[in-house]
């Protein structure tokens, strides 16, 4: 049997942080420049009220539909599928409005991934795949297989997990 990889969506195959950056910079009087936003996470830069205002966008239908694909994700995921069984596991349950957007986004950008291999869930500790590629340390913490931390601004100081900085590094490690 092929080994199995579960792959997160937001900030792993989908460049969700870039969408937040676009929204922020197009908002009213942004206090930070694109350069600053590429160096620190919104959690570090914004005050609580600003952060909540920005984050509220995820509850809007359509938010997840037009997010850019993370660089290299399409090519490497397609190559991984030749050697592994690939599942997309996304914590969509927190945002019920995201279900259709996420499903359609995957159908458009990753048409080779069968619906059988898509998982919308809340708590990734129920997964028993061999690998999990995720940007959230808390998801890797409870995962029973080998976790790979996909680098994002918000996790750049985390040292507890094997790190992959981009999709080329995923390919180097798993292919």
Q: Is 112 in the site for a second copy (CB under 8 A)?
A: no
Q: Is 114 in the site for a second copy (CB under 8 A)?
A: yes
Options 41, 120, 146, 151; binder of a second copy; rule CB under 8 A = 120
Options 45, 121, 171, 174; binder of a second copy; rule CB under 8 A = 121
CA distance 170 to 166: 7
Options 93, 112, 173, 175; binder of a second copy; rule CB under 8 A = 93
Q: Is 139 in the site for a second copy (CB under 8 A)?
A: no
Q: Is 66 in the site for a second copy (CB under 8 A)?
A: no
**Residue 152: partners with Cβ closer than 8 Å, 6 or more residues away:** 11, 17, 41, 135
To a second copy, the closest distance from the beta carbon of 125 in angstroms equals 8
From residue 87, give the alpha-carbon distance in Å to each of 33, 52, 81, 111, 128.
Answer: 36, 31, 9, 13, 11
Q: Is 3 in the site for a second copy (CB under 8 A)?
A: no
CA distance 50 to 22: 15
Q: What Rg do the C-alpha atoms of the chain give, in angstroms?
A: 16
List interacting residues with a second copy (CB under 8 A).
4, 6, 87, 89, 92-94, 96, 99-100, 103, 114-123, 126-129, 144
């Amino acid at each position: 049997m092929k080994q199995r990889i579960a792959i997160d969506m937001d900030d792993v195959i989908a460049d969700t942080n870039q969408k937040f950056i676009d929204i922020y910079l197009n908002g009213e009087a942004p206090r930070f420049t694109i350069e600053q936003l590429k160096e620190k996470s919104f959690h570090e830069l914004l005050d609580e009220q600003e952060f909540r205002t920005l984050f509220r966008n995820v509850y809007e239908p359509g938010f997840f539909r037009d997010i850019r694909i993370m660089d290299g994700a399409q090519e490497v995921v397609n190559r991984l599928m030749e050697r592994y069984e690939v599942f997309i596991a996304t914590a969509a349950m927190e945002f019920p409005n995201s279900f259709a957007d996420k499903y359609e986004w995957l159908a458009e950008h990753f048409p080779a991934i069968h619906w059988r291999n898509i998982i919308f869930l809340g708590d990734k500790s129920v997964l028993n795949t061999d690998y999990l590629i995720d940007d959230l340390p808390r998801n890797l913490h409870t995962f029973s297989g080998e976790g790979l931390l996909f680098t994002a601004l918000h996790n750049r100081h985390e040292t507890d997990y094997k790190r992959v900085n981009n999709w080329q590094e995923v390919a180097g490690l798993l292919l």
